[in-house]
Structure 1
């Protein structure tokens, strides 16, 4: 008779892995979990949480400027980057402790170290080997870099939270969530920001009206855009600045260069092949609606799969997996109508179909659109538009797309 150390062993202590471990343990399973870095994963340690803390910090300068229109007299203000980083670190450490206590109180045994598959039931963590009836892979993803000479001279989003000092001039390479969010953060804290993107407008895949209004708002805040030509090399100069050589033959110097060019699944050296787990060309683990891989005893959730790389989605997938396997429920993952929230400045979010996507469906629909100046900006004299846009199915009168740009849009739509 085959014996196992655990009913379930989870590789990865991020949002999806921790949720799955806790729910499975609550259903009576014996659970072990390993994490090579810090409990909490991308969202808590080097993603959503520290990003939003920095975003909050970056909005004070705008609030101070707007206050005069409302009768407030604000004296001289000063921002100190090291104080913000230290406060952020304290909060992240507190949350990491919360995650550890939640797991321990649930009866989950925690291993500090990277897990590697020996076979479809066996995991090596450092010098120790354990066996489990089922294995859940939840190792997440990592930031990608352009493969160009001098790429090591640039930072990625993971590094941006721990810089020794706030750079004076920053180049952000990319045009997605991370690029526009960090552009707003650095700009709000006082840096000169240039966004470089190979396309002609940021936030590809979003509704065209959203892209237009967000870019206009960013430009209004002083963020510059360099479209089309992308970097071909980065050179370190004698004074510590980075000279970026673009494909159009031009070059510019920056105090810091940041890659915001996407993320990739963290599946290197995980032992997937020898365990019989199929991956895509990008390294993402192939799963079905129940998070099952091609190895019957192995499941995967979160950013390591070929689905939607968002923290709430990883939480849903981990919970559904545990309920299905250990709670006697039938919970396939439904990835329809997931909100997309971007903590850019101005903020934006959407759910459902864009106007372009609705046209591709081929069914009659209506558009309701309004662009206006938010009331909070009127006395402040701020010239910036908000956008509300609905895509409505003609036959059913049902809203099939919602798109918002404006104050707190991301929080409102994502709930």
Structure 2
């Protein structure tokens, strides 16, 4: 039986991070994953999504070029060419990780692993034993089991499409659904978003939802919110979405399920060794990712909080340092201050508390600073345009910045530095004393003047 210091089940962002860092400290590590290395992020998530987003971004900017007197002629999108280039890029990343693990001395077994006990796994007809076991199996798209569900595709399927639909219904108004909606609309598809939520990006600050709605309207993306889907009907190429109120939408050439993701924690032996699972399949863990079974750890999407690639990477690296390099004084991941971006059109960004969350915690000690403006990039546009919008949520007598929320071009690149400021406990005065970079959109965050008291639900004020 092969003996290791660490057994890692899952070759995605979190699993690779803990394997890489532990091997760098001299540990003997083995990684199991039947799929290409890189996990969801590399194969069906962040990377192919951002590559596709760039194509849509270039198309959108080309359409506005004439506002600056730039004459462009476009013959459209060569989508098969984009797909081919994207596949080649992802294969390069898969190959990179395979070679990198080999150089690190990490064993990679492209098989599905099954826990036999808290120290032993079985894969490919062999058994392997480790001092510690890390579960990092990630998640997969949810497809609701309702009539006609097989007529809908998922985000995983999207990245395998060789052509684009002329019309599509996207079921779900979270970040995956709206990212897909923005890209497909930029590519020319007629897009309808159908969701049971009352507002898009319901998990974000209400300002973000409200302003993004205005952008969706400007782009011609149809929305049916507060609508519960009860099934799909019709046939491939002409699918109708059936709503619980008796109405229908469509027919659509394609339908995309974007109603969330579920953890891949079933049928890998967790129950048999006594690892606790919540009803939704996520794994409760302590601050150092340990499950209720000593020696068995879990990280990444399967723990049910912070389901983002950088969070899984941070958790994996810090865990390895905690075990093998305590002199580095590693600290657990703080899940309360995770910066996040949705690559909608335009992007949204957030770090820290929403306004309602801050009010629930700090009450009348919350003050909010916010702004809306057009930005120089659309200075010559005719008619009303959806704005860039920014909000600072401040709390306490010193007005510590506890939340930042933004919608607009380039906010994805702006947020990283401001996230450092929030992490360090910056106050509104710190922002005020920072010299702005002019002319930029980012400078608005350090020049905000007028505040208002925080409210538990500021949507009405934003309207």
TM-score of the aligned structures, taking structure 1 as reference length: 0.96
- The SS at the match of 1:410 is helix
CA distance in 2 between counterparts of 1:188 and 1:76 reads: 13
Q: Give the drift of 1:380.
A: 4.0
CA distance in 2 between counterparts of 1:245 and 1:393 reads: 45
CA distance in 2 between counterparts of 1:11 and 1:392 reads: 42
The aligned counterpart of 1:245 is: 242
The aligned counterpart of 2:274 is: 276
CA distance in 1 between counterparts of 2:227 and 2:70 reads: 45
- The SS at the match of 1:5 is strand
The aligned counterpart of 1:168 is: 166
Which has the higher mean CA deviation after the structures are superposed, 309-318 or 403-412?
403-412
CA distance in 1 between counterparts of 2:274 and 2:387 reads: 52
Task: State the Cα RMSD in Å.
Answer: 1.5
Q: Which of these residues, 172, 181, 187, is aligned with residue 183 of structure 1?
A: 181
Contact 1:233–1:244 (Cα < 8 Å) also in 2: yes
| Superimposed CA distance per residue, residues 364-409 of structure 1 (whole angstroms, 9 cap, x where no aligned partner) | 1211111010110112447120101111124112111111110021
Contact 1:218–1:346 (Cα < 8 Å) also in 2: no
The aligned counterpart of 2:111 is: 113
Structure showing greater relative contact order (alpha-carbon pairs closer than 8 Å, 6 or more residues apart): 1
CA distance in 2 between counterparts of 1:342 and 1:318 reads: 23
Q: Give the drift of 1:413.
A: 1.3
The aligned counterpart of 1:95 is: 93
CA distance in 1 between counterparts of 2:41 and 2:111 reads: 19
The aligned counterpart of 2:60 is: 62
- The SS at the match of 1:185 is helix
How many residues align? The count is 412
The aligned counterpart of 1:12 is: 10
The aligned counterpart of 1:405 is: 407
Residues 29-108 of structure 1 correspond to what in structure 2 (within 5 A)?
Answer: 29-108=27-106
- The SS at the match of 1:59 is helix
* Structure 1: runs of 5+ lacking an equivalent: none
C-alpha distance 84-176 of structure 1, shift in aligned 2 (>3 A): same
Q: Which 4+ residue blocks in structure 1 deviate beyond 4 angstroms?
A: none
Q: Give the drift of 1:39.
A: 0.2
C-alpha distance 326-4 of structure 1, shift in aligned 2 (>3 A): farther
CA distance in 2 between counterparts of 1:194 and 1:209 reads: 22
- The SS at the match of 2:162 is coil
Contact 2:285–2:292 (Cα < 8 Å) also in 1: yes
Contact 2:2–2:127 (Cα < 8 Å) also in 1: no
CA distance in 1 between counterparts of 2:364 and 2:314 reads: 31
Contact 1:349–1:403 (Cα < 8 Å) also in 2: yes
C-alpha distance 414-175 of structure 1, shift in aligned 2 (>3 A): farther
Q: Give the drift of 1:4.
A: 6.0
TM-score of the aligned structures, taking structure 2 as reference length: 0.86
- The SS at the match of 2:117 is coil
The aligned counterpart of 1:392 is: 394
Contact 2:370–2:390 (Cα < 8 Å) also in 1: yes
- The SS at the match of 1:288 is coil
